[in-house]
Amino acid sequence: MLTESGRQVFPDRLRGLALLGIVVVNAPFFSISIDGFTAASTTGALNAVAAFLVVALAQGKFYLIFSFLFGYSCAFMLDDGGKPNRRRFRRRLLALGILGLAHAIFLFIGDILLTYAILGCGLLLLFARSDRVVRGWIWASAASAVAVCFLVLVPLAFLIPGFFVNGSDPTMVALDSALAYGTFWQAAQARLAALPTVLIVLFLLQGLLAFAAFGVGLLASRAQLLADPVRRSAQWRRLAVIGMCVGLPLQVLAALLELSFVAGSEGPMAVVGTAIGFTTAPILAMGYVALLGWALSRRPALLSFAQNPGRASLSVYIGESIILSLLFCGYGLGYFGQWGAFAVVLAAVLTWLVLALVSAWWFRHRQRGPLEWLVDRWTRRS
């Protein structure tokens, strides 16, 4: 079993890498527009390639890995499912909900913590159910996500051109303006006004698949799937081949369709690309997990630099938002809408590297990340 200080190494390193993918995906929404990449931000070969790589390789994938790990770790927290553990788990969900709401209003409207807090209640109900029942819910959630994308969102895009373009929504236009020029409180008020719409979109595009990933994580924890990569080396290699060979071509196709809208072609095809991208993202996400598992089975010290941010994932996640909002928003350095895709992606990677270094320093003096310590104190309070 690959462990350090009583913790499984694989989940921490995987969580740390997922945070890198998440900040790269989130950065355009912090820095360019509430729509993410725009035609202006992808002008030039370097910017176009950067945007394409983010959409094809990262968008929709790493939040699923993070969701999978949420289900995996929560199973250990619930342990035997007794009343004390269930009570602590409910308190943790409440803490995540409060943090998520504050994060969405004051830092980043695309927050995932509030969604996790809500969906975690469903995970609590699944904990004591059989593997067969959990698998049923996984398939039902995934099928519902596919149905929403291709039976609701895609038809709407063709029937009502411009329906998914935020430029036609005054609330989203006001949010863009507040992020670019507003004070801290004006930006917070604009996020709060747009939050109901954004929460609906996040649930439709991410929530259903995130819950499916919760379930997969729960089953993985029962099988101790991530505890000993060496023992499962052959299994990881097979899954990596399937995930990369099937998932990567689908994501390339999705990115080409989605970014065609940025280049000026018809909007409905961009929605088709988004639908393909999000609904097939689990395949490539599985490939990433398996690839790392196989790599660790051969080189146990690989990617150890990602372990510290993985141990302090909540603190690093919020820290990423603090740095990017101060860099781009009007109440910070004010670079919102001024940088191209390549510069934005580079800033996101550097943000993660800085926080990785800070977390390495932190763990030389402390056992838990700062927000992890606060949530743990609240969770264990009698």
Through-space distance between the first and last CA atoms of the chain, rounded to whole angstroms: 33
> Given a cut of 80, is residue 291 above it in pLDDT?
yes
Q: How far apart are CA 258 and CA 271, in angstroms?
A: 7
- 301 touches 11 (CB < 8 A): no
Range 309-348 burial, b when 16+ CB lie within 10 A, else e: bbbbbbbbbbbbbbbbbebbbbbbeebbbebbbbbbbebb
pLDDT of residue 192: 95
- What pLDDT, on the 0 to 100 scale, is given for residue 370? 94
Task: Tell the residue number behind the tokens 């928003």, with chain if given.
Answer: 329
Specify the residue for token string 């996640």: 317
Give the predicted TM-score (pTM) of the model.
Answer: 0.91
pLDDT at residue 47 is higher than 80: yes
What is the pLDDT of the chain when averaged over all its residues? Answer: 89
For residue 6, CA distances in Å to 1, 9, 232 come to 10, 9, 20
The Cα 71–Cα 256 span in angstroms is 32
Lowest mean per-residue pLDDT among 111-120, 161-170, 173-182, 270-279: 161-170
CA-to-CA distance for 164 and 152, rounded, in angstroms? 12
- Contact predicate 115/203, CB 8 Å: yes
Q: What is the pLDDT of residues 299-318, one digit of tens each?
A: 888 888 999 999 999 999 99
126-180 pLDDT per residue, tens: 888 899 999 999 999 999 999 999 998 888 888 877 666 655 678 888 999 999 9
Q: Residue 169: what pLDDT? A: 73
Inter-residue contact 307 to 9 (CB < 8 Å): yes
Give me the pLDDT at residue 265, please: 44
- Which range is least confidently modeled, 75-84, 95-104, 282-291? 75-84
Q: How many domains does the chain have?
A: 1
Phi, psi for 4 (deg, rounded to 5): -140, 130
Find out whether 316 and 19 touch, Cβ atoms under 8 Å: yes
Residue 264 has pLDDT above 50, yes or no: no
pLDDT digits (tens, 9 = 90+) for 337-372: 999 999 999 999 999 999 999 999 999 999 899 999
Q: Which has the minimum average pLDDT: 5-19, 183-197, 259-273?
A: 259-273
314 against 268, higher pLDDT: 314
Domain hosting 157: range is 3-380
- Percentage of the chain with pLDDT > 90? 64
Per-residue pLDDT averaged across 51-68, rounded?
Answer: 95
Q: Work out the average pLDDT over 4-33.
A: 89
* pLDDT, mean of residues 265-286: 87
* Residues 14/226, Cβ–Cβ less than 8 Å: yes
- Residue 4, pLDDT score: 58
How large is the average pLDDT for residues 182-198?
93
